[in-house]
Chains A and B, each alone.
Chain A
Amino acid sequence: DTAVSQTPKYLVTQMGNDKSIKCEQNLGHDTMYWYKQDSKKFLKIMFSYNNKELIINETVPNRFSPKSPDKAHLNLHINSLELGDSAVYFCASSQDQGANSPLHFGNGTRLTVT
């Protein structure tokens, strides 16, 4: 029943490793996003995709690479993990990329890099 689901929920790994987070939405939405929430609780957009096409690519290190195989899925791969990458990563989706289209968030992935 979960509208936006992401896995894993927790991810603990060492510096230098490569990891992936997967996201799927069953809402039939066209647009998907990755947001990062740091320890101070600020939510910042990283990427958005509309119908598999990259729309927003914020100032994010190129160690972060999103991939959208279809409009219901948006994955995030992170290479050479660093301590500063520790955060909660939220996937979200919206009906479309219109300004009045609210975001629906997944449950988040808490990434801890040691």
Chain B
Amino acid sequence: QKEVEQNSGPLSVPEGAIASLNCTYSDRVSQSFFWYRQYSGKSPELIMSIYSNGDKEDGRFTAQLNKASQYVSLLIRDSQPSDSATYLCAVNGGAAGNKLTFGGGTRVLVKP
């Protein structure tokens, strides 16, 4: 049973539009949530972290967390071709050792 689920995509978005990515998780006691961006052949890089319910904005990115619904999302405003990548949702269940469980990622394609 998958613990962190994402739609694999590809999510095709016109340049300048909003890309909306969703992630659900199964562990109710999960404490912290992260979004990583991974370009093809590269390593994941952190773009957002969120720890409490509500919205968190950083530049063109907004993360939204709803612990009751076990749902975390990422919005990318004014999408650019350089945003084309795979976006990985990661969840920390609170176990010892800072164990992150990753979803399979959503591939985003921003078309000029």
Contact = CB atoms under 8 A, between A and B. Distances in A.
Contact of A45 (B42, B45, B51, B99): B99
Contacts of A96: 98
A43 interface: yes
Interface stretch (A12-20, A59-67, A69-77, A99-107): A99-107
Contacts of B88: 43
A90 B43 contact: yes
A99 B42 contact: no
A96 B42 CA distance: 24
Interface in B33-64: 34, 38, 42-46, 49, 51
Interface string A47-84: 01010000110000000000000000000000000000
Contacts of A90: 43-44
Range, interface on chain B: 20 to 34
Contacts of B98: 31, 48, 94, 96-99, 101, 103
A45 B100 contact: yes
Interface of B: 31-32, 34, 38, 42-46, 49, 51, 86, 88, 90, 92, 94, 96-102, 104-105
The 9 closest A-B pairs by CB, nearest first: A55-B97, A56-B97, A43-B102, A105-B43, A97-B98, A99-B31, A99-B92, A48-B97, A99-B32
20 contacts: A31-B98, A43-B44, A43-B102, A45-B100, A45-B101, A48-B97, A48-B98, A50-B97, A55-B96, A56-B96, A56-B97, A90-B43, A97-B96, A98-B98, A99-B32, A99-B98, A102-B46, A103-B34, A105-B45, A107-B43
Interface of A: 31, 40-45, 48, 50, 55-56, 90, 94, 96-108
